[in-house]
């Protein structure tokens, strides 16, 4: 019974390519997130969607475009991949009630050659 699942788990591709990562949650949460964790291990929020609407958009290049077809799904499309995009990307979900934590997917390890 996977709560937050993201695919693929590993993604190795060449610079300049376009790729997508998918995320789905079956927890009934109304908010979903994308995080990037780079080689320095710092976990940084990229986007947050609440009921399919973008509510947080941190300073992220326009090459990154999230899409939420429904509140259980949040996908991330990346255009023109660059070496600096190599990182682990985590999807998470939560409710917006106070004291409710986020639940994370097990990450997508993106390596740019």
Partner 1 sequence: RKEVEQDPGPFNVPEGATVAFNCTYSNSASQSFFWYRQDCRKEPKLLMSVYSSGNEDGRFTAQLNRASQYISLLIRDSKLSDSATYLCVVKAGGYQKVTFGIGTKLQVIP
Binding site for partner 1 (CB under 8 A): 31, 33, 35, 41-45, 48, 50, 55-56, 88, 90, 94, 96, 98-107, 109
- Nearer Cβ to partner 1, position 9 or 63? 9
Least distance in angstroms from the C-beta of 39 to partner 1:
12
Q: Which two tokens stand for residue 75?
A: 């996908």
Least distance in angstroms from the C-beta of 80 to partner 1:
27
Backbone angles phi, psi at 84, to 5 degrees: -70, -10
Residue 68 to residues 11, 38, 42, 65, 82: CA-CA distances in angstroms?
21, 24, 25, 10, 24
- Nearer Cβ to partner 1, position 23 or 112? 23
- Nearer Cβ to partner 1, position 63 or 68? 68
Least distance in angstroms from the C-beta of 26 to partner 1:
16
Q: Which two tokens stand for residue 105?
A: 């997917």
Q: How many CB atoms lie within 10 A of CB 9?
A: 12
């Amino acid at each position: 019974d996977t709560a937050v699942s993201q695919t693929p788990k590993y993604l190795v591709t060449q610079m300049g390519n376009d790729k997508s990562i998918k995320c789905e949650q079956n927890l009934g949460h109304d908010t979903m997130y994308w995080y990037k964790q780079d080689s320095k291990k710092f976990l940084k929020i990229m986007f947050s969607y609440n009921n399919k609407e973008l509510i947080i958009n941190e300073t992220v290049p326009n090459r990154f475009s999230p899409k939420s077809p429904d509140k259980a799904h949040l996908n991330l499309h990346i255009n023109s991949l660059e070496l600096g995009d190599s990182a682990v990307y985590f999807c998470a979900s939560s409710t917006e009630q106070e004291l409710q934590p986020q639940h994370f997917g097990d990450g997508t390890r993106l390596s740019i050659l």
